[in-house]
Each structure stands twice: as structure tokens, then as C-alpha cells.
Structure 1
Amino acid sequence: MANTAQSKKRARQATARTDVNKARRSRIRTFLRNLEEAIASGDKAVAQEALRAAQPELMRGVTKGVMHKNTASRKMSRLAARVKAIA
């Protein structure tokens, strides 16, 4: 357990930061889930709209430090390819 005032404050900050990051990650996953459902439905217009909504959320996760830039780029690339492949 934290003993000094500084370490107590750091523990509080870490807890708060964890909650914020958890909320951000959850929000990103929700957008990705909506996109997955749109792809599964086979409706290209809906899937493209979901892709447009998910992209800024993924990149915002990068700027906020929730995920790595290459990870987000790889996910976007794969999802865009799947949306494009819809007949």
C-alpha cells in the first residue's frame, strides 16, 4: 500500500486513469461490434456508414493512448477490406 503522500496521489490518479481508459476501450469495442453486425447483415451501405463511424473512434483511441497506432491501422485496413468485399 502507498505510504507517502505522493504515492497515495499516484495511486488515486492510476485508478482514475484506469476508469477513463476502460470507458474509452469499451466505446471503441461498441463501434467495432456495430460494424461487425453491419458486415454480417450483408448490407454494404450500412456497413460503410458503420465503418465511417468507427474509424475516428479507433484513431481517437490511438491519440488517447488506449491502443497502438499500428494496431488501429491494421484493424481499420482489415475491416475496410471486409466492407469492400460485400457484394
Structure 2
Amino acid sequence: MPNIKSAKKRLKQDAVRRVENKTKKSMMRTWIRKLNEAVQAGDKTEAQKMLPTVFKKIDKAAKAGCIHANTASRRKALASRRVHAMS
């Protein structure tokens, strides 16, 4: 346990931020999983409708610092490739 006042405050802030980051990451992963399920099922229209939402979730996670910008870019490219590869 920290003894210094600023360290105690930092501990509280870290706890709150950890929960927020976990929520954002979880939401992003959930939408990516839903998109992958739609692609596996061959539901092209549903996958195309989901793509902007997936991009939004990924961008929000990157902007909040939950994931690195390059990781966000890679995940968006992969999702886009999967959807556009459907014929």
C-alpha cells in the first residue's frame, strides 16, 4: 500500500482506468468475433453492415490507448480483408 498521498490517488486512478480499458477491449473483441462469425456463416450483407461498427470500436480502443495505433490498423485491415474476400 502506498503511503504518499499522490501515490494513493494514482492507485485509485489506475483501478478506474484498468476497468475502462478492459471494457473497451472486451467490446472491441466481441464485435470482431461477431464479424468473424458472420463471415464464417457466409452472411455477406450482415458482415458488411457490421464492418463500420467494428472499425468504430477498434478506433475508440486505439484512441483511448487500450491498444496501439498499429495494432488497430492491422485489425481493421484484417477485418476488411475477410469481408471483401467473401464472394
d(CA) in 2 for partners of 1:58, 1:21 = 12
Contact 2:28 2:57 (8 Å CA) reproduced: yes
Which SS does the other structure have where 2:86 is aligned?
Answer: coil
d(CA) in 2 for partners of 1:17, 1:78 = 28
Matched residue, 1:9: 9
In the alignment, structure 1 residue 74 sits paired with structure 2 residue 78: no
Contact 2:32 2:79 (8 Å CA) reproduced: no
d(CA) in 1 for partners of 2:48, 2:30 = 16
Over the matched positions of the two proteins, sequence identity in percent amounts to 37
RMSD: 0.9
Query: TM-score by structure 1 length?
Result: 0.94
Matched residue, 1:83: 83
Contact 2:39 2:86 (8 Å CA) reproduced: yes
Which SS does the other structure have where 1:86 is aligned?
Answer: coil
- Runs (5+) with no aligned partner, structure 2: none
d(CA) in 2 for partners of 1:86, 1:41 = 11
d(CA) in 1 for partners of 2:73, 2:23 = 21
Q: Which amino acid letter does the alignment assign opposite residue 66 of structure 1?
A: C
In the alignment, structure 1 residue 42 sits paired with structure 2 residue 42: yes
Shift, 1:6, TM fit: 1.1
- Runs (5+) with no aligned partner, structure 1: none
Shift, 1:73, TM fit: 0.8
Q: Which amino acid letter does the alignment assign opposite residue 14 of structure 1?
A: D
Matched residue, 2:65: 65
Shift, 1:53, TM fit: 1.2
